[in-house]
Amino acid sequence: MSNPTAPPGTQTLARGLAVVRAVADGALDLRTLVERTGLGRSTAHRLVQLLVAEGYLRTGRDGYTLGPTLIELGFQALHGNPLPVVARSVLEELSAQLRDTVHLAVRDGDSVLYLDKLPGTRGAEMRSRIGHRMPLTRTGVGMALLLDSAPEWPSLYEAEAPVKPGRARREDVDAFLTRMRAYAEAGVAMDLEDNEPGIRCVAAPLHDATGAIAGAVSVSATRPYMPAARMRGLAGVLTRATQRISAGLGHREP
């Protein structure tokens, strides 16, 4: 729970944020909260009372949940980011044209953060949601976000190894790097059921005025709707869509 980089005098704030994060991660009662944060029971209880009073948490029959203040601030943060606003009309066109699930995401540290989602009208519902985080190297949209970050590919893949973090087999790492080099050359990444069994997706990066990757868009569907031939065909569709969004962010193609 302790944060060595926290400025002096902010310990109480750090503890309160740890409580909010623990509740967001599923700590529904005081006992679990104490276990997750390492706080004393009385300290955790006082912080919960304050956070409930301020609307950051709420208590009910099912235990602790995130409160209305966080929902309000979350929407303000989302609308304060120009990317979802610039991208929305293009995402809606993609969704109507393809009938598949469309995602907009950015990189946040070592994870994917979903900013928008337009559910598909056929097949199974994806487990992703706005505000949800997923591994970078296990999702198509995450791999698209990494296309200009080749030096990070091996360490990120090993850190997110599906069996045991940091224990990825050499041949698995080599296979991933081969895929990423091909994706970087094509400018499009593909999730071949890496994240969810039966779910495939095609993803492409968005670029800002500096040319850096500022986000990514993906189109996802169940395997019957995403045969290999269709995935290859979607690469061009998605690239044209992301170029339009990138232009709205000030990017100019060479």
- 124 with 166, same domain: the answer is yes
In the listed set 40, 55, 73, which residue is the last one of a domain according to the structure?
73
- 53 with 90, same domain: the answer is no
The pTM of the full predicted model, rounded to 2 decimals, is: 0.70
- Tokens (6 digits) for 5: 């980089």
Q: Taking the CB of residue 30, how many other CB atoms lie within 10 A of it?
A: 15
pLDDT at 242: 96
pLDDT at 100: 94
Closest CA to 219 of 78, 84, 93: 93
| Statement: residue 38 has pLDDT above 60 | yes
- 139 with 236, same domain: the answer is yes
**How is residue 214 annotated by DSSP?**
E
- 48 with 90, same domain: the answer is no
Q: How far is CA 116 from CA 21, 78, 103, 180, 242, in A?
A: 21, 9, 6, 25, 14
CA–CA separation, 81 vs 67, rounded Å?
A: 22
158: domain range?
A: 81-248
pLDDT at 2: 47
Among 55-64, 80-89, 153-162, 173-182, which range has the highest average pLDDT?
173-182
| Statement: residue 220 has pLDDT above 90 | yes
- 21 with 93, same domain: the answer is no
In a domain, 2, yes or no: no
pLDDT at 50: 92
- 69 with 85, same domain: the answer is no
- For the chain, report the end-to-end CA distance as a whole number of angstroms: 47
In the listed set 23, 55, 73, which residue is the last one of a domain according to the structure?
73
Q: What pLDDT band is residue 107 in, cutting at 50, 70 and 90?
A: very high
Q: What is the mean pLDDT of residues 58-87?
A: 80
Q: Taking the CB of residue 66, how many other CB atoms lie within 10 A of it?
A: 16
Q: What is the mean pLDDT of residues 45-65?
A: 89
Structurally, how many domains does the chain consist of?
Answer: 2
- 219 with 119, same domain: the answer is yes
